[in-house]
Structure 1
Amino acid sequence: MLSELAIKNFAIIDDLKISFSRGLSVLTGETGAGKSIIIEAVNLLLGGRASADLVRTGEKSAHLEAFFDISLDSPAATVLKSQGLDPSEGLIIRRIINANGRHRIFINSTQSTIQLLKQVTGNLASISSQHAHQGLLKEDNHLDILDHFAGIWPLRNKVKATWNELMPLIRELEHLKATITKRTEDNQLLKFQIDEIDQANISPKEDILLETQKKRLKSGSEIFTCLKTGINHIYTGEDTILEKLDTIKTGLEKYTPLDTNIAQVAEKLSRTMLELEDITDEMRHISTGIDLDPATLEETEARLDLIQKLKRKYGQTSLEDLLTFYGELKEKISGSEHMAEKIEAMGEQCRALSQSLGKMALDLSKKRKKAAIKLAKLAENELKTLEMNQIRFTIVVNHSPLSRPEKQPKDLFSINGMKITDTGMDKVSFLMAPNPGEKPRPLARIASGGELSRVVLALKAILSHTDDLGTLVFDEVDSGIGGKTSDKVGIKLKALAEKYQVICITHLAQIAKYGKTHYKIEKQVINERTATHITPLTQKKDRIHEIARMMGGSTISQATLDHAAELLDSNL
């Protein structure tokens, strides 16, 4: 229950405090006095969106505070305890709205977030305003109301979670399929390129080795001639170097006993001759290995030409780059194979999720159809108590139709021809026939302001049992009604107030008379500043005077006062 409300520097309110009690509290006053501003303050304290424009002109910030009396086993208390906050002293919510756009929220003196605020206040109060009336004209809201009544939001949330998991998978799967289709076309070229490089059987740095070999082959005959000439001079020709050295060595050996230096020279000559013989053998071995066949050179040049051709063809500047490119081609082919496996696995996952989603959506649809019959009957009965005696109220639950393919959104998903979204497969419409002989039609097409107000009240009365709310707030509930109907609306509000705390803004005396507590809202100009003030009407004479004002306008006669007293007494 909302026990205390404090508002400071908010719109045209400078400083206002209200104490609410159980039962029906009515707020009355002239149009523009600030009644709806008070409701807006309550809305913000329940988690509504704040705007810097709401700060009173000339002030830096607006301060809103509410005290709710809650039980320790209430949902709000459970949330508080989960956050380490003590609910034993009740719930105090404070919001500071700064003109610079930086706002703050406090729950039981602890700074908090808008998300936590909404969790805490989820079951505290509900506000029905002109916005709610207009919202009832939108069929998207009909689905929410029906699901609320049916108590199937947990199942609907599962549908949404599954849908949110499935749709990205479907989009990714479609992308992969499109990619692999293109790759399949490209793979013919990839395989040709891989085969062409494969057949070349190229080794790393082979081009460097071939270039060296090419130079050696081109110089083969010159090298062979040079080697043969060397062998001839050293070993096989006439008057060879070895023969000359041997002659010198033989001549010196006669004198080695006489001079050790000569002996050393002779020894060196022997070693030199042995080394020259080794050199000759090496030269002979090298010469036998020289390939003088022109075909070998042609083969080497052809091999180099092949490598150069492949480098040019595939836009590579080096053999290393060509081999890297070859590796990338093989990875692409391998990637296509892996992609096919991924598509198969993802397809299985999509099929499983689709089956689960379809089953849950169908279950959700069945529950909606069952609840629709019950809610329509209850709404019809409620509306009959509000002077709509011949009303026929119908709730239609249909499967969402599929659009033409070219008009279907990319995130469309269907099962067996039924469109499925994150809310399921249904489209819900509230239809009404206010008078006998009329065909039920959508609310937006036929409901008057007064009829719409009563539909909102009827649904709120029904849903209040489902929500288990502590406080119901009504603004504009008397829009478009009067006379006997307004009296019936007042009776309905009073009946609701027997179970809930009900706060109602009204312009009608027939409704105001049912208030257990009555607050008068006035707009005053003090020191050239407009401000809203509230006065609890605790004295009967004050209530009579206010009800008389509501009945007779600015001029209040004794007859009007007598009528107001009679109205008030009729409720006592």
Structure 2
Amino acid sequence: MLGELAIKNFAIIDDLRISFSNGLSVLTGETGAGKSIIIEAVNLLLGGRASTDLVRTGEKQAELEAFFPIEPDSSAAKIMRAYDLDPFEGLMIRRIIAVNGRHRIFVNSRQSTIQFLKQVTRNLASISSQHAHQGLLNEENHLDILDTFAGTHTLRNTVQELYGELLPLLKNIYELKAGIEKAIEDNEFIRYQIDEIESAQLKPDEDEALETERNRLKNGTEIYESLNSAMDEIYSKDGSVLERLGKIRADFEKHGVVDKALSRMAETLSRSMLELEDFNHELRRHCDTVDLNPDILEETEVRLDFIQKLKRKYGGHSATLDAVFKKYKELKSTLSGTENMAGQIEQMEEKAEVLSAEIGRKAIELSGQRQKAALELATLAEGELKSLEMENTRFRISVTQVKKETKPEDPQKELFFDPLASPLLTVNGMKIFQNGIDRVSFLMAPNLGEQPRPLSRIASGGELSRVVLALKAILTETEPVGTLVFDEVDSGIGGRTADKVGMKLKLLSEKYQLLCITHLTQIARYGTHHYRIEKKVINNRTSTVITPLKETGDRIREIARMMGGSNISQATLDHAAEMLE
């Protein structure tokens, strides 16, 4: 149950803290006093969507807190243990709504996420507000309600998982089939490109090596003459470098007898002359490699020109040899992929058939459980509605299937824009949707002699609020929650009907904690606890104030206010006291 609620700087609420207990807690007050704001705060603490507009004017952030005592064997306790939170400490939720959009969530002082908040509070509290009433008019929500009652969420999740696996597979099959014909046509050209690159017998960095060779060949004569000139200077001509160095060495050796330093210098000079002779041999060897044949230069330029054309053709924007090699690999991969495409399609179709058969079986099983549950839920709903002054109401739940058209105009287009109509996503001629094969609609006939019709076409505000209450009373038995919050439960009703609704809420409060906002004395009279909500001007600012009415006299005056407005007579007070007896 909800043990405590604290609200600060939220809408017109300055600073508010209140404790709740078991039973039926009614919240009353003038229109606009801030009753629904309190419900909105609870909704945010259960994981509702936050808006910066809710921060009190002039403040940087709003702060909301809620404390829930946790039963040790509850689903919330299991979730808390899984996240290393101690359920014996209870669940303390704190949510900060900041003007700058940097909202934060804390669970037991640990920063958390909206996903975890929704998960851990799922069975702690449930809110029925005007949104729930309007949501009941939307038939898309009827399937969820029926599945909640039937307890078929596990089977439904299985269908969803199979659907999520099968649909992309079907799209891939279509895309492969659509592309295979064009791919086959392209293969001939791809093979030509591969052959052209392969026949070139390219080598890594060959273009750079050829550029170097071409430059060398172009300057062959000059290089040859330069090498010969160097050899003449070093070795061949009279007075060569080696000859002059030999004379110097001989002179140093002669005087080295008396000057040891010259002897060492002579040895150094000998080593240098040996290195110079080696260098001269290297010059000669390199000179022998210089090719002065113009035919070789022409062959080099032809090869280089051919490689440049391949680079422009296959090298993309970079026009490099590496890009040509990369393109070659891509072409080979494309060709290989196309050749394997037929085999891939066959394998994928086999898998799709297996998944299709499985989803078909599960969808039929799910539909059977829904149809059985629909009869049970309709019967229970009629019983609940009878207790809420709708004695002659007939409530029906329609569970139908959508038939598959025999000849769609464009089956491939239908696969994408209505993928559920794919031939592989049908069973027994019925379309399989993400949640199964069923379309669910709640129908009602409020009066004798009428045929049941969709709620959206016939239900008044008062009837709709009672249908919501009836379904909530039934569903809490299937998926129990600790706290039920009702806003607008008295919409469109009054008199004896309102009294019956109040009795129903009182009965529910024997099993669950109930918080109920009401404008009707017939409902407020049944409250185990009563809270008055009002607006007050404090320091030139309007603020919402909530006051627990613990004394009988305070409750009598609030009931009297609800009955007679600002002018409360003794007769009104007496009537209010009588209602509370």
TM-score above 0.5, yes or no: yes
Could you tell me which residue of structure 2 aligns to residue 548 of structure 1? 560
Q: CA 1:120 to 1:196, structure 2 compared with 1: closer, same or farther past 3 Å?
A: closer
Could you tell me which residue of structure 2 aligns to residue 219 of structure 1? none
Whether 1:142 aligns to 2:145 is no
Alignment of 1:297-376 (within 5 A): 332-376=334-378
Could you tell me which residue of structure 2 aligns to residue 119 of structure 1? 119
Contact 2:564 2:572 in 1 (8 A): yes
Q: CA 1:546 to 1:179, structure 2 compared with 1: closer, same or farther past 3 Å?
A: same
Alignment of 1:249-268 (within 5 A): none
Could you tell me which residue of structure 2 aligns to residue 33 of structure 1? 33
| Residue aligned with 1:2, SS | coil
| Residue aligned with 1:356, SS | helix
| Residue aligned with 2:566, SS | coil
Alignment of 1:521-560 (within 5 A): 521-560=533-572
CA deviation profile, 1:129-184 (whole Å, cap 9, x unmatched):
00000000000000000001111111111111111111111111211111112112
CA deviation profile, 1:32-65 (whole Å, cap 9, x unmatched):
0000001111111111111111111111111111
Could you tell me which residue of structure 2 aligns to residue 514 of structure 1? 526
Amino acid at match of 2:572: T
| Residue aligned with 1:360, SS | helix
Q: CA 1:196 to 1:119, structure 2 compared with 1: closer, same or farther past 3 Å?
A: closer
2:467 to 452, 455, 478: 455
Contact 2:60 2:99 in 1 (8 A): yes
Alignment of 1:104-253 (within 5 A): 104-187=104-187
Could you tell me which residue of structure 2 aligns to residue 44 of structure 1? 44
Whether 1:410 aligns to 2:421 is no
What is the alpha-carbon distance in structure 2 between the residues aligned to residue 315 and residue 111 of structure 1? 58
Contact 1:11 1:55 in 2 (8 A): yes
What is the alpha-carbon distance in structure 2 between the residues aligned to residue 195 and residue 7 of structure 1? 76
Whether 1:2 aligns to 2:13 is no
Could you tell me which residue of structure 1 aligns to residue 497 of structure 2? 485
What is the alpha-carbon distance in structure 1 between the residues aligned to residue 580 and residue 335 of structure 2? 88
What is the alpha-carbon distance in structure 1 between the residues aligned to residue 68 and residue 345 of structure 2? 55
1:399 to 398, 401, 405: 401
Q: CA 1:484 to 1:177, structure 2 compared with 1: closer, same or farther past 3 Å?
A: same
Could you tell me which residue of structure 1 aligns to residue 244 of structure 2? none
CA deviation profile, 1:62-119 (whole Å, cap 9, x unmatched):
1111111111111111111111111112111111111111111111111111111111
The worse-fitting range, judged by mean Cα deviation, of 486-495 and 95-104 is 95-104
Query: Based on CA coordinates, which of the two structures has the bigger radius of gyration?
Result: 1
Amino acid at match of 1:36: S
What is the alpha-carbon distance in structure 2 between the residues aligned to residue 558 and residue 478 of structure 1? 27
Could you tell me which residue of structure 2 aligns to residue 275 of structure 1? none
What is the alpha-carbon distance in structure 2 between the residues aligned to residue 379 and residue 556 of structure 1? 40
The worse-fitting range, judged by mean Cα deviation, of 417-426 and 13-22 is 417-426
What is the alpha-carbon distance in structure 1 between the residues aligned to residue 19 and residue 330 of structure 2? 77
Q: How many percent identity over aligned positions?
A: 65
2:579 to 561, 567, 570: 567
Displacement after TM superposition at 1:190 (Å): 5.4
What is the alpha-carbon distance in structure 1 between the residues aligned to residue 533 and residue 197 of structure 2? 90
What is the alpha-carbon distance in structure 1 between the residues aligned to residue 158 and residue 485 of structure 2? 31
Contact 1:376 1:394 in 2 (8 A): yes
Q: CA 1:504 to 1:336, structure 2 compared with 1: closer, same or farther past 3 Å?
A: same
| Residue aligned with 1:383, SS | helix
The worse-fitting range, judged by mean Cα deviation, of 328-337 and 516-525 is 328-337
Displacement after TM superposition at 1:328 (Å): 6.7
Whether 1:379 aligns to 2:373 is no
Displacement after TM superposition at 1:191 (Å): 6.4
Displacement after TM superposition at 1:331 (Å): 5.1
| Residue aligned with 1:101, SS | coil
Could you tell me which residue of structure 1 aligns to residue 13 of structure 2? 13
The worse-fitting range, judged by mean Cα deviation, of 87-96 and 323-332 is 323-332
Amino acid at match of 2:374: A
Contact 1:395 1:428 in 2 (8 A): yes
Amino acid at match of 2:128: S
What is the alpha-carbon distance in structure 2 between the residues aligned to residue 119 and residue 330 of structure 1? 50
Could you tell me which residue of structure 1 aligns to residue 273 of structure 2? none
Contact 2:486 2:515 in 1 (8 A): yes
| Residue aligned with 1:485, SS | helix
> Structure 2: which 5+ residue stretches go unaligned?
208-301
What is the alpha-carbon distance in structure 2 between the residues aligned to residue 87 and residue 328 of structure 1? 58
Displacement after TM superposition at 1:353 (Å): 1.4
Alignment of 1:430-469 (within 5 A): 430-469=442-481
Could you tell me which residue of structure 1 aligns to residue 391 of structure 2? 389
Contact 1:412 1:420 in 2 (8 A): no
Q: CA 1:556 to 1:438, structure 2 compared with 1: closer, same or farther past 3 Å?
A: same
Contact 2:404 2:426 in 1 (8 A): no
What is the alpha-carbon distance in structure 2 between the residues aligned to residue 511 and residue 495 of structure 1? 12
Contact 2:395 2:443 in 1 (8 A): yes
What is the alpha-carbon distance in structure 1 between the residues aligned to residue 120 and residue 383 of structure 2? 33
| Residue aligned with 2:435, SS | coil
Amino acid at match of 2:132: A
The worse-fitting range, judged by mean Cα deviation, of 40-49 and 395-404 is 395-404
